[in-house]
Amino acid sequence: MKLIEPILAQTAALTQLRRDIHAHPELCFKEERTADLVAAKLTEWGIPAHRGMGTTGVVGIVHGRDGGQSGRAIGLRADMDALPMTEFNTFAHASTYPGKMHACGHDGHTAMLLAAAQHLARHHDYDGTVYLIFQPAEEGGGGAREMIRDGLFERFAMEAVFGMHNWPGMPAGTLAVSSGPVMASSNEFRITITGKGGHAALPHLGVDPVPIACQMVQAFQTIISRNRKPIDAGVISVTMIHAGEATNVIPDACELQGTVRTFTFETLDLIEARMRETAQGIAAAMGANCSFEFERNYPPTINTPYEAGFCRQVMAGIVGEDSALAQEPTMGAEDFAYMLQARPGAYCFIGNGEGAHRGRYEGGGHDAGPCTLHNPHYDFNDELIPLGATYWVNLAHAWLAHQPPARPAAGGQ
């Protein structure tokens, strides 16, 4: 593995920084302390820090030896927000804020980009400009979309934009990228079935919405198995059913909620339309009324082929061909998708390992609980900081040193 020595030398300080962020998690659009810390570090290293984009976002600007006169520019993005959940870890840097936790590694993402920023600011051996995007509110708030609405790409004209996420279960010391869809769209639905309540001993006098809801849940899966092309991935998950207040009362209404995930808008259009038709048809056939709400949240995250191939070459130069892996698409969602709709780019994974890195803190290693994303036992692997930062620096250097293909400035797809 070919890591940048000056970054390695800063590992202890960067680890301390990461753990400080972990101990003070902040939820979407509330990342005041984190943004203050990021801006303070950038300023300390002589990097201009632009505040307030997307509410709490920070953008740093690092010019190479040409002072940015070449006009070439690349964007590197890290997310900063935490999750509204209670941490179960007991190590010294565990969350000090009840009900808030860095359970997805955004503390590590921020630390890796700060490590790259420090190196880029101290070693101007490149031409062009690197924009350092510290984004708020990835966890459901659409912070990327809000930064774009605030003029991210108009104020900071970059040719391409890149993101990275740690991935538990993928071996530490590996990186992964692929072209095309790598994360799914995220969408929510709410269905309210209104029947006619009554005594549970006299069901024939009412219209019971509960068995109607059960038929809908089963029927939705036939959309996946019989309406959707088998090669087009899609998921319908009914995750909440609410009805009733007493065991001897048939309720008037029953509510279903859940999520739909797809890699393409065509599949999403199909699923939404068929779910609406299925829900309304079953309700009507059973003598009930039905309201159907479908909200589209994050679009699919789609890496552009040229940028994904470029990233893989950079990765192989750091970790070797065998550890530069193909990225397995996941049905998880990521608001970096909005940035890839506006600019070419790629979103990659960095292996976080299996969780053994927590053994020195927990004493129980894996027995302390799974180190998976959005899990109360999760912790970012600090050994990744030099690797992630090296990848960012090498990617920026390589991108600014080559001539990208000619194409329209906007429109990642």
Predicted local distance difference test score (pLDDT) of residue 370: 86
Confidence of residue 411 (pLDDT cuts 50, 70, 90): very low
* Residue 412 reports pLDDT greater than 70: no
* Integer CA distances (angstroms), 372 to 65, 170, 171, 381, in order: 41, 11, 13, 12
Predicted local distance difference test score (pLDDT) of residue 395: 98
Query: CB neighbours of 286 closer than 8 A, spacing ≥ 6?
Result: 195, 207, 211, 212, 215
pLDDT tens, 256-286?
999 999 999 999 999 999 999 999 999 999 9
Is 5-184+300-401 a CATH 3.40.630.10 domain? Answer: yes
Predicted local distance difference test score (pLDDT) of residue 407: 75
Predicted local distance difference test score (pLDDT) of residue 409: 52
Burial (Cβ within 10 Å: 0-12, 13-18, ≥19) of residue 44? exposed
pLDDT tens, 351-403?
999 998 887 554 444 446 789 999 999 999 999 999 999 999 999 999 999 99
User: How do the domains of the chain map onto residue ranges?
Assistant: 5-184+300-401, 185-296
Predicted local distance difference test score (pLDDT) of residue 365: 46
* Residue 350 reports pLDDT greater than 70: yes
To 5 degrees, how large is the angle CA 381–CA 385–CA 390?
Answer: 145
> Which of 156-170, 289-303, 349-363 has the weakest average pLDDT?
349-363
* 98 vs 84: CA distance, rounded Å: 9
Q: Which residue bears the tokens 């820090």? A: 49
pLDDT tens, 14-42?
999 999 999 999 999 999 999 999 999 99
**How many Å is the Cα radius of gyration of the chain?**
24
Predicted local distance difference test score (pLDDT) of residue 98: 96
Q: What is the CATH number of domain 185-296?
A: 3.30.70.360
Burial (Cβ within 10 Å: 0-12, 13-18, ≥19) of residue 34? buried
Mean pLDDT of the chain: 95
* 169 vs 354: CA distance, rounded Å: 5
* Residue 146 reports pLDDT greater than 60: yes
pTM of the model: 0.93
Predicted local distance difference test score (pLDDT) of residue 413: 42
